[in-house]
């Protein structure tokens, strides 16, 4: 179907979207009409480690494609493949493998979650693999991506981190603070250096305290900073989600942080060099019980957000797509000239997904 018109309640604004040759165009009334109850921009997942038993950090190109397709069928038309802490050579090799899928448009980019993380706030990341940031080393990883690395998570308090942040930004990537024990002062310095994202806020970091505000107070108060939240019912309490909604409107980005067990049965898996037990869909490190990613696709997290808060359609579009798109400097979704990446919720609960003007589901 090269040309069609979606007739639905659309975010942002309006009731019709016209699609021609894979892009959104001005509606001139021509084309087959596709009715739906609601149309949202395709979901943008800033933080996703894989699915179907495949980890983006270690799987083949074909396996990575299958994992991306799994998330696409559930609404994520743009997936940033997260590569977790591993030996440096393995991380570099993963970047080289995945960059072809970024060039092809299967993936929206690569996220390096490690190895420059706090040992104290490491979660499931193996302590033996963590490293102190070195600018030449980070530049080499960025160069290996040839522009495909779009997000780099770093703990701002580590020696050399503040100096490395401008290099990350200069390479066209988003500098993110995460797995960090930073004080408020250290986080403030990181934001001034270029940090614009908090990786899975409230998880893997110094907690918010009234006498020790840490990184979260700075991020919540600074309008330049976007905060990721994992809305799977386990990583953060619903009241925390409500707090971020109210304190940082327009700066909340829901993410899956989906690990390789997403779409699979419970059992033993490996994450970031650590053995992980998945039981009842909850992934925890075998050694200390730390949460080790989620098994909830972003589409399910969006549905949970809607169920919990009855938000406006524009807010749903923001937390699932528009905020992340802005951060990644992608075209404003569902506007003329943008890629036709659309999530359609039909009457009766069925969901259909359009990517580049083609129905993926």
CATH number of 1-41+333-361: 2.30.40.10
Q: pLDDT (tens digit, 9 = 90+) per residue, 292-309?
A: 999 999 999 999 999 999
Q: pLDDT (tens digit, 9 = 90+) per residue, 266-288?
A: 999 988 888 999 999 999 999 99
Query: pLDDT-derived band of residue 254, with 50, 70 and 90 as boundaries?
Result: very high
How far is Cα 34 from Cα 16, in angstroms, rounded to an integer?
10
> According to the CATH classification, is domain 43-330 in 3.40.50.970?
no
Of 266, 274, 122, nearest in space to 200 by CA:
122
Q: pLDDT (tens digit, 9 = 90+) per residue, 85-97?
A: 999 999 999 999 9
Which of 137-151, 220-234, 270-284 is the least confident region? 270-284
Q: Under a CB-based contact definition with an 8 Å cutoff, are residues 342 and 321 in contact?
A: no
Q: Is the pLDDT of residue 246 over 80?
A: yes
Calculate the CA dihedral of residues 307, 308, 313, 318 and round it to 10 degrees: -120
End-to-end CA distance of the chain: 13
Joined together, the tokens standing for residue 23 give: 């892009």
Where exactly does CATH 2.30.40.10 map onto the chain? 1-41+333-361
Reported pTM: 0.96
Where exactly does CATH 3.20.20.140 map onto the chain? 43-330
Residues with catalytic annotation?
257
How far is Cα 241 from Cα 262, in angstroms, rounded to an integer?
22
Sheet hosting strand 267-271, strand order edge to edge = 267-271, 274-279, 282-285
Q: Is the pLDDT of residue 1 over 60?
A: no
Mean pLDDT of the chain: 95
Q: Is the peptide bond before 122 cis (omega within 30 degrees of 0)?
A: no
């Amino acid at each position: 179907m090269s040309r069609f018109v979606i007739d639905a309640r659309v975010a942002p604004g309006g009731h019709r979207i016209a699609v021609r040759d894979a892009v959104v165009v001005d509606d001139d009334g021509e084309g087959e009409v596709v009715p739906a109850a609601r149309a949202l921009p395709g979901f943008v997942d800033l933080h996703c480690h894989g699915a179907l038993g495949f980890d983006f950090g270690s799987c083949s190109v074909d396996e990575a494609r299958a994992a991306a397709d799994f998330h696409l069928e559930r609404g994520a038309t743009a997936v940033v493949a997260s590569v977790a802490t591993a030996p440096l050579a393995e991380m570099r090799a993963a970047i080289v493998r995945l960059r072809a899928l970024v060039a092809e448009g299967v993936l929206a980019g690569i996220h390096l979650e490690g190895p420059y993380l706090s040992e104290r706030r490491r979660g499931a990341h193996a302590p033996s693999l963590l490293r102190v940031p070195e600018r030449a080393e980070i530049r080499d990883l960025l160069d290996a991506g040839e522009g495909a690395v779009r997000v780099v998570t770093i703990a701002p308090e580590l020696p050399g981190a503040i100096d490395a942040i401008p290099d990350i930004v200069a390479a066209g990537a988003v500098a993110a603070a995460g797995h960090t024990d930073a004080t408020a002062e250290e986080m403030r310095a990181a934001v001034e250096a270029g940090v614009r994202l908090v990786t899975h806020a409230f998880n893997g970091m110094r907690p918010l305290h009234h006498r020790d505000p840490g990184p979260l107070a700075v991020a919540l108060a600074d309008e330049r900073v976007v905060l990721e939240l994992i809305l799977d019912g386990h990583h953060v309490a619903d009241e925390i989600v409500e707090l971020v909604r109210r304190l940082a409107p327009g700066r909340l980005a829901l993410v899956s942080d989906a690990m390789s067990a997403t779409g699979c049965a419970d059992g033993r898996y490996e994450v970031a060099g650590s053995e992980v037990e998945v039981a009842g869909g909850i992934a925890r490190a075998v050694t200390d019980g730390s949460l080790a990613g989620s098994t909830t696709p972003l589409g399910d997290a969006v549905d949970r957000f809607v169920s919990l808060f009855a938000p406006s359609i524009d807010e749903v579009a923001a937390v699932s797509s528009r905020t992340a798109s802005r951060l990644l400097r992608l075209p404003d979704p569902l506007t003329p000239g943008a890629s036709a990446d659309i999530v359609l919720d039909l009457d009766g609960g069925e969901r259909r997904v359009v990517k580049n003007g083609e129905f993926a589901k």
